[in-house]
Amino acid sequence: MNQVKTVEKTSEEKRGDRRERLREFQSQLLERMQVARSSEATSTNQLGVMIGDTRYLLNLKESGEIVSLGQITQVPLTRDWYLGLLNVRGNLIGVIDIQRFQGRSSVEATADCRVVAFSAGLAFNAGLLVTKVLGLRNVAEMTAQQASEPSAWKQQSYLDSNNQSWVELNLAQLIQDSDFLHIGL
């Protein structure tokens, strides 16, 4: 008589499965971003991220790699929104808490947090700390709204079909902001 054994996965195996699913998700997202960048729909497809409790849209031509938070090395005598340097495959990028830069509370670092690097085309070695990556969003399917806090780098607000508000960030404009460029105390 054959007996069927059920084998429980160990917590180590479960963590390995979660890591593998995360890698697959990141790989698929990167692939979709590359396809979207090369298509004519780039202006309508944008990367949706959550920073704190605010949803933001990032232009795919201005957004670079999405990496895990990792070990950030603090830099002395810098502003509180400049979190420090992160080594991404041998390249150092400055990590910015954009929420803190705007005078709000700091983003809480959790397991879901990621750093969205600025694209190489911007020639600015930095990345934004995001609470969560939400994937690609099509602004053509959203309704434009009056921006609640207009600035050169917060260009447009949108309302999606679920009545959720989104703010479009222009990273090219952000790196020209004199306050953003002065990280020193």
pTM of the model: 0.75
Residue pLDDT, tens place only, 115-152: 999 999 999 999 999 999 999 999 999 999 876 676 78
Q: Is the pLDDT of residue 5 over 60?
A: no
CATH code of the domain containing 174: 2.40.50.180
Nearest to 124 by CA among 77, 92, 83: 92
Q: Is residue 6 part of a domain?
A: no
- Domain-embedded: residue 20: yes
Question: Average model confidence (pLDDT) for the chain?
Answer: 86
Provide Rg for the chain, Cα atoms.
19
- Report d(CA 159, CA 92) in Å as an integer: 36
Bin 41: left if φ > 0, else alpha if -120 < ψ < 50, else beta.
Answer: alpha
Antiparallel, parallel or unpaired: β 54-59 and 165-169: parallel
Per the structure, how many domains does the chain have? 1
pLDDT in tens, 41-83: 445 789 999 999 999 999 999 999 999 988 999 999 999 999 9
- Residue 31 to residue 19: CA distance in whole angstroms: 18
Range of the domain at 33: 11-181
